[in-house]
Chain A
């Protein structure tokens, strides 16, 4: 049996820290138990790709970048002009079915489940923390729950998804995940933070 090891395995055990007022205003952790597959249409083949994946996803692909379509436990995100991410739960065989459904002449299907680490941050102070990290306005009037953005954080490209009023999930490149985690926990020192223990590690 092969055991999986998260990029944050060493960091998650370090615990939280009280803020300057003794409070812990943020909760930070790693979201696990998900997979990621990318689909992309070749030039002029977007319509064919949409037709090919519609029966698999039981949904239309999102029309604009920033919009998330939630369907059957999956999140569909448009991440490029003709490119999409599908985030699913572990055990979902949608990646295999997409590989079967998409003719290599019309589009590309790429498995990326190990390429990203998902860090979540939640709490009333979360917007204050993000204001020092990401050059976007996260006021709910501008960046609503369910919305996502492709942006930069600590000089690395990330996808940030607002999954709740005071909760954000940030998909970080795996090899930078520990560095981004350390950046977050350093920036959160004055607010105080609690590290949320991850669930048991999966294995193959």
Chain B
């Protein structure tokens, strides 16, 4: 048995402790005759207080009826002073309240009201109102609650005179002082108070704070609590485990980590990993060098001259099915997909509804009614939500269903001049010739009964294939390709090389697709359909998006052999004073083995109108200035000959 002392009638005036609770300061209970054993009474201000050591403080704010249903039905809650709480201000036709909902907190009252509500509901449903029958007394009949009724003394705010913070909303750290400031600054409406202070906007949606805050606000305004008004009550409607609210977001569990099906293989085989959003991705491999600077360059050389294998399981993958799937894709992408033949893939770009570029990716037509769409790793979740939003709100008439396949399929890229040969070794017996699987073609085959999806497309600018397989088989296929194509010198390559190869090819990626740029900015406006309507079509034409001096995509080549370029560097015209935000910035940078210099993609005011001009690249954090030249963003193979071999 625990010797826990019960002190009734006292109030916690302050909590003692910095990083943990060490004690509380109590106001002396009016009827208490002796103090807790580990503390002595003291006078502080006008209050008689005492200190009590403890390591946990719990609070109760009494009962508050769950008025959400009637509140959402447009019926304002009614304040009841006797229970210091809001109750439904009425009921819609066919609704009848009983028990705690009405502010009756005893079992006897709940049973009594329940019977009455049931009789009313029966009558409302067309039955006779049944006669009331006597009911046995409730078990609580002898309890203090039943004898005295539910009593609560509202103490909205403790007497002042202390410097300690007085929290009203413990989830969002809103204090009485914050409410005072809001009031002084003219936020009289409870809706404004909420948004100004964030009061009641935590996961409990004000369950532990709103009533106190309303009462304090009413006091500041000099009005009664009902006149202060209420906000609309929101979920949770039912109690939530306190442990779940507290969570365990600590240490390495602060946020979840997302792992590719091939993750463990990367760790065992010398990959250095890097965070990419929630994902952990293979950054570079030790076979290629001792540092990222040396390794990614070697990995690029491998892909340009031989064949490499890269894990792209992180790409967003979406199954789009239905008789209206083609129409749906025509609407979400700026370019059309209705006429895409079965077995073919097409690059697509989608816009936000305000006309900026949202994401890009490749969509493959698997049948007349089924497509396989990929998104960038970074935007996968956002695109999926966007598509579901459109189908559930804007285009409810379309017969289309979308499902995320990001977790279902492992994905890998085989890239380089020897890519076809490598796959032919890994998948013997399958015709992967240019005639059977041409550029932007797809093929679905089975290996040992396992479905395999091959799509011939390229991010690197070399002959390349994306290969997809159900996730549990991902590492097996990965190892098979490496083992079978070993005579060709195949090796894995990581994210740094993947992202650098695409810079040489001039492909935009997440760093350029930042939701601020337009099709025109990125040199993609020719893709936009002139026939079909698509999301963002009208607003992409607005004058600010068509301004001639917008920052738009350019290539940048370094003119000083001993200098390097850095991502984020600011670009200035040669005659500019080096100050301020300049005329643009570098988005992506890499060393190019092919050009033997640093190259970059960037956004520059006026874009390729300045092609050939020498400008200045500035990195203020290191005090660096480098002479560079504006060039086309496609640094290699501008005619795409390597893709079609």
Interface flag for A91 (CB, 8 Å): no
Name the interface residues of B245-288: CB closer than 8 Å to any CB of A.
245-248, 252-253, 255-261, 263-264, 279
Given contacts A112-B403, A155-B256, A204-B450, contact A2 B238 (CB under 8 A): no
B446 to chain A, nearest CB (A): 9
Chain A residues contacting B256 (CB-CB under 8 Å) are 154-156, 176, 179-180, 183
Interface flag for A113 (CB, 8 Å): yes
Partner of A115, one of B252, B321, B401, B405: B405
Contact A176 B258 (CB under 8 A): yes
Contact A112 B253 (CB under 8 A): no
Given contacts A156-B256, A174-B471, contact A107 B401 (CB under 8 A): yes
User: In whole angstroms, what is the CA distance A133 to B245 when docked?
Assistant: 9
Name the interface residues of A59-116: CB closer than 8 Å to any CB of B.
83, 104-105, 107-108, 110-116
Interface centre among B238, B255, B401, B403 (most CB of A within 10 A): B401
Given contacts A40-B401, A43-B396, A108-B403, contact A114 B244 (CB under 8 A): no
Contact B475 A5 (CB under 8 A): yes
User: In whole angstroms, what is the CA distance A5 to B255 when docked?
Assistant: 25
Interface flag for A25 (CB, 8 Å): no
Interface flag for A131 (CB, 8 Å): yes
Interface flag for B217 (CB, 8 Å): no
B397 nearest CB neighbor, chain A only: A43
Given contacts A5-B476, A42-B400, A113-B470, contact A132 B241 (CB under 8 A): yes
Q: How many residues of A contact B (CB 8 A)?
A: 49
Contact B261 A183 (CB under 8 A): no
Interface centre among B397, B403, B474 (most CB of A within 10 A): B403
User: In whole angstroms, what is the CA distance A187 to B447 when docked?
Assistant: 41
Given contacts A2-B473, A155-B256, contact A174 B447 (CB under 8 A): no
Contact A7 B261 (CB under 8 A): yes
Partner of B321, one of A110, A131, A182: A110
A117 nearest CB neighbor, chain B only: B407
Contact A104 B322 (CB under 8 A): yes
Pairs across A and B, CB under 8 Å, 12 listed: A2-B448, A3-B476, A4-B473, A4-B476, A7-B259, A104-B323, A104-B367, A110-B401, A115-B408, A115-B471, A176-B257, A178-B257
Given A2-B477, A176-B259, A204-B473, output 17 extra A-B contacts at Cβ < 8 Å.
Answer: A2-B450, A2-B476, A5-B472, A5-B474, A5-B476, A7-B261, A42-B400, A42-B401, A43-B399, A83-B401, A105-B399, A107-B401, A110-B405, A114-B472, A115-B407, A132-B248, A176-B258
What residues of chain B have their CB less than 8 Å away from a CB belonging to chain A?
203, 236, 238-248, 252-253, 255-261, 263-264, 279, 313, 319, 321-323, 367-370, 396-401, 403-409, 447-450, 470-477
